Chains A and B, each alone.
Chain A
């Protein structure tokens, strides 16, 4: 479909901008935040490689972005990105992962990439459900949610992906929602420039599959307003009790650590030392 208005981010796309996502999906907002961050850093787009897995989030870079995009198998986006970064350390690698890629099938790759502190930027689209396959319960679905596979409510507690990343040793962790698109762009900018494993969790609306769980079916506007009401900034949350923070989303830049050895640098050092012997 021809975009007749000439979008300023059109230069980053292969052909016309045509997202096949559902009406009101958060993917487009996140995609725009990533591209605006890249636009502001003024990095050459060809120096960035995108890796995405299977799921709705996989369609953010693939096949739209006009640079190297790897659309890989289920949950293996971070594993592929690790290989890509080690083989081509000069590339900036951005992973557009879903909650399946980071919390479910790709969970192990995720925690180990964080532990190794490899220089990747992982943007995790957390919509709280397996949207593409029909709305099944995911490891990030809130407790007692009715989904297609949990008709009587889910009995498992969800993962807190950002805290998981912090515990595993990620050196830059931020959490935002799609309502905070401007802050999200600033955090993505910081994450791309950060040397080390950076993880950005974006709570994103899925009005079709997750909307029906919370009674906001096909109503992305109510979901965005819900995020606005639930979000509490990390600086404010520090002075709040656990009861007050119940059902709230803590947003902000949670962790930023500097001067921690990065994996590709460590490999270079190891090579130098081994060649001397």
Chain B
């Protein structure tokens, strides 16, 4: 399960570029910092590689492996 803390996001887009199955996209909404944060589409395709979490410079993305 991929969780995004939208208010910690600074909108750099690294998670979107690093996702190997390209399921992250910029959302149309703005967060409290005034940037477009990422949102998940087609979560069932997620491989749980944790790239989005490892490369997020703002600790805004968390991938939880245990949940079914």
| Chain A residues proximal to chain B, CB less than 8 Å | 1-10, 17-19, 21-29, 32-33, 36, 178, 181-182, 207, 220-221, 224-225
CB distance from A121 to the nearest CB of B (A): 20
B29-68 to A contact mask, C-beta < 8 Å, 1/0:
0001001000000000000000000111111111000000
Q: Is the CB of A221 within 8 A of B12?
A: yes
Q: Is the CB of B62 within 8 A of A8?
A: yes
- The main secondary structure of chain B at its interface with chain A is loop
CB-defined contacts of B13 to chain A, threshold 8 Å: 24, 220-221
B15-39 to A contact mask, C-beta < 8 Å, 1/0:
0111000000000000010010000
| Chain B residues proximal to chain A, CB less than 8 Å | 3-5, 7-8, 10-14, 16-18, 32, 35, 54-62
CB-defined contacts of B4 to chain A, threshold 8 Å: 5
Total A-B contacts with CB atoms under 8 angstroms apart: 77
CB-defined contacts of A17 to chain B, threshold 8 Å: 8, 58-59
Q: Is the CB of A23 within 8 A of B10?
A: yes
A19 CA / B12 CA spacing, docked (Å): 14
Q: Is the CB of A225 within 8 A of B17?
A: yes
A2 CA / B54 CA spacing, docked (Å): 20
Q: Is the CB of A26 within 8 A of B7?
A: no
13 contacts between A and B (CB under 8 A): A3-B60, A5-B61, A9-B59, A17-B58, A22-B10, A23-B11, A24-B10, A24-B13, A28-B59, A178-B55, A181-B54, A182-B54, A221-B13
CB distance from A64 to the nearest CB of B (A): 10
Q: Is the CB of B57 within 8 A of A19?
A: yes
From A35, which residue of chain B is reached at the shortest CB distance? B59
CB-defined contacts of A25 to chain B, threshold 8 Å: 57
